Homo-oligomer: A and B are copies of this chain.
Amino acid sequence: MSASVRVALLGCGVVGGATARILVEHADGLAERAGVPIELARVVVRDPDKPRVLDLPPGVITTDALAAVKDPDVDLVVEAVGGMEPARSLLFEAISSGKHVVTANKELMASAAEELMAAAGEAGTDLLFEASVAGGIPIIRPMKESLAGDRVSRVMGIVNGTTNFILTRMSEGGLSFEEALDEADRHGYTEADPSADIDGHDAVAKLAILASIAYDARVAASDVEREGVRNVTADDIVAAHELGYEVKLIAVAEREDGEVAARVHPAMLPKTHPLAAVRNEFNAVFVEAEEAGEIMFYGRGAGGGPTASAVVGDIVEIVRHMAGGSPAPGFTYYRKKARILEPGSAPARYYVVLSVPDQPGVLSAVAGVFARHGVSISSVRQEGAGDEATLMLITHTAPQRAHDETFAELESLQAVKRIHSRMRVLGTAEG
């Protein structure tokens, strides 16, 4: 190999810019750790005249992405463009040109991972993507390598910083959902279209990647059930606190009897659960493994520095492999598709709030509906009197389908005016 490893960087925005800065500013330390100097040979941008913080030698900045990824002098391509195209095509070009590849692109890894991995396997190149999930938190490598001798039974993550900030402000500041969303906006935590965050799409893509790694089998974004945070109310949060819970948007994947269930939804977690203490824009991934038990990885899930730290970590790993003369480790994962549990069969626990008239026989009628569907009740509390009373229940674990059927029947029940709220309960002793 040559005296240095030459990197082409696609994109010089928040993540790309921070990656370029680290490669230049920390060049000496990185060379020492990687075993060989890492040279930023190409930085592909849309507008070459835009002022950059970083002073790069002439000839490095270019607008010709295709030439950069096919350049025989380039060893490694870093994709920090985001989105599907042209990122996807450029990575295939890079791989078929024999380049190692590092990407921070969650959409791409959640939807085109199999094809990219197959191409990289065939070309004998590395494809690393630590930065695609939970930004600066090392999570893919620990799951893939440190837990290689273990079996993951469940992964639960807070993987979207915007919604965690919103829920934290609702919990700690007593704000409504709309007020908290406004505050997230003022902090610059929201996108132009907030739907990707608050409706759970972003978390779904990240969970698809996490679950695929955890179970060595492909879980697609379309395999993940999704419910966002729009319907979480200030009342839900108050009720959660009274019961000793916090409300979080949880991305959870579980495997039982070889079948995987994956979903994103708001959930109540006991305040003593480590995920309940994850505040503001921070992310965390909580892993339950057969031997290691409960493990959590916590940190910043977004932002230039954290994401670029993960990107550069991947670059250093590839360069170490190259310096050691070893073949690419490749990915044995995703070669098979995960068997997805039929959604109605997944176990669930619910917190439910009902408006009922305060009159004889109501509790009996409500309890009867739960019983008919085989859902047993863990705790119940009634508040208010007169015409309007509120019934709060927490169920024991029962199949999702049994809960859905219970809710449907409750809605048609004379004795129930309205189902105010229903939210899953996670992280307790029974699940």
Q: Which residues on A are within 8 Å of B, measured CB to CB?
A: 18, 22, 26, 29-30, 32-35, 130, 136-138, 141-142, 145-151, 216, 272, 274, 276-279, 282, 284, 289-300, 303, 305-306, 308-313, 315-317, 320-321, 324-327, 329, 332
Residues in B whose Cβ lies below 8 Å from that of A26: 149, 151
Q: Specify the chain B residue showing the minimal Cβ separation from A18.
A: B291
Residues in B whose Cβ lies below 8 Å from that of A30: 148-149
* CA of A160 to CA of B393, assembled, Å: 39
Q: Is the CB of B329 within 8 A of A324?
A: yes
Q: Is the CB of A324 within 8 A of B327?
A: yes
Q: What distance in Å separates the Cβ of A152 from its nearest Cβ neighbour in chain B?
A: 11
Q: Is the CB of B277 within 8 A of A150?
A: no
Residues in B whose Cβ lies below 8 Å from that of A216: 32-33
Q: A130-B146, A313-B145 are in contact. Are A295 and B299 (CB under 8 A)?
A: yes
Q: Is the CB of A150 within 8 A of B312?
A: yes
Q: A141-B142, A329-B320 are in contact. Are A293 and B136 (CB under 8 A)?
A: yes
Could you list 14 examples of A-B contacts with CB < 8 Å?
A: A18-B291, A29-B151, A30-B148, A33-B332, A136-B291, A136-B293, A148-B312, A149-B312, A291-B306, A292-B299, A292-B306, A293-B305, A295-B298, A295-B300
Residues in B whose Cβ lies below 8 Å from that of A278: 274
Q: Specify the chain B residue showing the minimal Cβ separation from A289.
A: B309
* CA of A138 to CA of B151, assembled, Å: 14
Q: For A313, give its contact among B22, B150, B297, B308 (CB under 8 Å).
A: B150
Q: A30-B149, A313-B148 are in contact. Are A300 and B305 (CB under 8 A)?
A: no
Q: Is the CB of A299 within 8 A of B299?
A: no
Q: Is the CB of B137 within 8 A of A295?
A: yes
Q: Is the CB of B327 within 8 A of A295?
A: no
Q: What distance in Å separates the Cβ of A350 from its nearest Cβ neighbour in chain B?
A: 26
Residues in B whose Cβ lies below 8 Å from that of A308: 149, 291
Q: Is the CB of B305 within 8 A of A291?
A: yes
* CA of A91 to CA of B119, assembled, Å: 42
Q: Is the CB of A327 within 8 A of B327?
A: no
Q: Is the CB of B309 within 8 A of A299?
A: no
Q: For A292, give its contact among B279, B300, B324 (CB under 8 Å).
A: B300
A sample of 15 more A-B contacts (CB under 8 A), given A26-B149, A294-B298, is A34-B148, A138-B142, A141-B145, A142-B142, A145-B316, A147-B309, A149-B308, A149-B311, A149-B313, A149-B315, A295-B297, A297-B297, A324-B329, A325-B326, A326-B327
Q: What distance in Å separates the Cβ of A48 from its nearest Cβ neighbour in chain B?
A: 26
Residues in B whose Cβ lies below 8 Å from that of A32: 216, 332
* CA of A297 to CA of B134, assembled, Å: 14
* CA of A326 to CA of B321, assembled, Å: 9
Q: Specify the chain B residue showing the minimal Cβ separation from A172.
A: B272
* CA of A340 to CA of B310, assembled, Å: 29
Q: What distance in Å separates the Cβ of A410 from its nearest Cβ neighbour in chain B?
A: 36
Q: Specify the chain B residue showing the minimal Cβ separation from A290.
A: B305
* In the complex, the 8 A-B pairs of residues with the closest C-beta atoms, listed nearest first: A149-B312, A326-B326, A138-B146, A136-B292, A277-B277, A291-B309, A295-B299, A296-B298
